Structure 1
Amino acid sequence: MLATAKKRQEDASASWILTFADLLALLLTFFVLVFSMNSVQFESWKSVVRTMSEEFNPNRPMVEVQQHDTPASIMTRRIPGLNLSYLEALLERQLAQVALLKDAEVRLVGDKVVISLPASLMFERKKAILAPDASRALRQLAGALVQIRNKLQIAGYTDATPVTTGLFRSNWELSLTRARVVAGMLADAGYRQPITVLGYADTRLQDLSEQLSAQSRYEWAERIDIVLMNERRGQSTYDIF
């Protein structure tokens, strides 16, 4: 009787070994699973996924993956337009023939040619309605731009004085609207290629030359920049015309 009780006590005291063995087996299984997931063979895993999908969802629509042959836009070589130095001289000569635009500034900036037009030549203060003379001048300018293959941008700028006319909520809206008006006039005059339109308000005042007087900087702060890029015309994200 005593021997039987002692044996049962020994068996009970040794039962923890079974629990410990089970725990070790579970840990080993877990680490094997982690290792296998860390080094999955894609083809094998794809077969498992396909088999399970067909088993549990036989009506699932099949998706066929096909290779896309169109090259990514980032890999597409950009085709240059006209030589920028030639373009700068051409535009200076063309603008000199337009009375309203003879005071416009044409300059070569990096990989683009910029035509800067003071807003005071074309618009009333803090407004976006073109003056009759400005419309005629832009029509003449459009005749020259039609012959140029370079990509075109039009950017509007303003000074820091708030808009108080009630026509616009901010200088951002004013600068963008003026740029759109100029782009629309060029389009009406025959320019049929895409035009990128941007509005910068008063965020680029630091781009003005430090050599300008305070009065000149104030006048040039509100302007329209017609920018010709060093690449041929093409569709862009912001193209609206």
Structure 2
Amino acid sequence: MADKNTPFRQQEAAPANWMLTFADLLSLLLTFFVLMFSMSAIQFDNWKAMVRTMSDEFNPARVAVDTKPHDGQDSLLVQKAPGLNLSYLTVLIRRALDKNPLLKQAIVHRVRDNVVISIPANLLFGDKNATPTTDGVKALRQLAGSFVQVKNRIMVAGYTDPNPVKNGLFRSNWELSLTRARLVAGIMADAGYVQPVNVLGYADTRFAELSPKLGQVRRYQLAERIDIIIINEKRERGPYDLF
């Protein structure tokens, strides 16, 4: 009820529908300015890549891609011919190692379709070192002579124990294992094995594969090693292959 002493009648508040329109306008303005800001900071590398892609795709002068089927065989799907019999190779390698006083301690074993010669690193190198000893070089050169007539592909892999390198010669066990493997492959090449040799460095990633039943001392001895892996796959014909 209105007060009689009030000269004017109080007007009822009108509905504020205009605020909804004003809020929408502010939202659109904010979106517009955010869009303008994002366009002002262009990442030119991504922009160039997009422009180059669009130019290539929509260029009418672009050379059409030839979709004709390839007549040749896919080399990845062709099964390569096997090399010499692995059982026969195992016997020959063991005989060659028995003739070498230093490499008698090497272990010859079968891993899947490969013959692996595991040589403890202390027979060839010093502790956490990649400088081969004189006897080690002589033994490797003699062993390389036995591989000349082996028609299988060969890889050399280096391994280490988990102990870190602290002598400052190498930054990590990865570098040490790879350097040792490369040196062994190089000595074999100098001795006359001219075929390509894949070189790998595993550091201590395979340490868990050594059986705990061997004892900690023996496990650490076998962890630092060089593996010469003879693969059951024929390599390319070399200059010394007579047959």
Matches within 5 A, 1:79-228: 79-228=81-230
Amino acid in the other structure paired with 2:121: A
Question: For residues 72-127 of structure 1, what are the alpha-carbon distances to aligned partners after superposition, in whole Å with 9 as ceiling and x for unaligned?
Answer: 12221210111111111110000000111011100112111110000000001111
The structure whose residues are more often helix, as a share, is: 1
How do 1:44-63 and structure 2 match up within 5 A? 59-63=61-65
**Quick one: which amino acid aligns to residue 94 of structure 2?**
E
CA distance, structure 2, for counterparts of residue 227 and residue 204 of structure 1 = 15
1:21-40 pair list within 5 angstroms? none
Give the structure 2 partner of residue 74 of structure 1.
76
Q: How many percent of aligned residue pairs carry the same amino acid?
A: 56
CA gap 1:58/1:92 in 2 versus in 1, 3 angstroms: closer
**Does the C-alpha gap of structure 1 residues 65 and 100 become closer, same or farther in structure 2, counting only changes over 3 Å?**
same
Aligned counterparts of 2:80 and 2:65: Cα–Cα separation in 1: 35
Cα 1:59–1:73 change in 2 (3 A) is: closer
Give 1:147 deviation, angstroms: 1.1
**Residues of 2 paired with 1:119 and 1:148: CA distance?**
24
Distance 1:69 1:142 in 2: 40
Where in structure 2 are there 5+ consecutive unaligned residues?
1-57, 237-243
CA distance in 2: counterparts of 1:94 and 1:129, whole angstroms: 24
Query: Which sections of structure 1, spanning at least 5 residues, go unmatched?
Result: 1-55, 235-241
Equivalence for 1:3: none
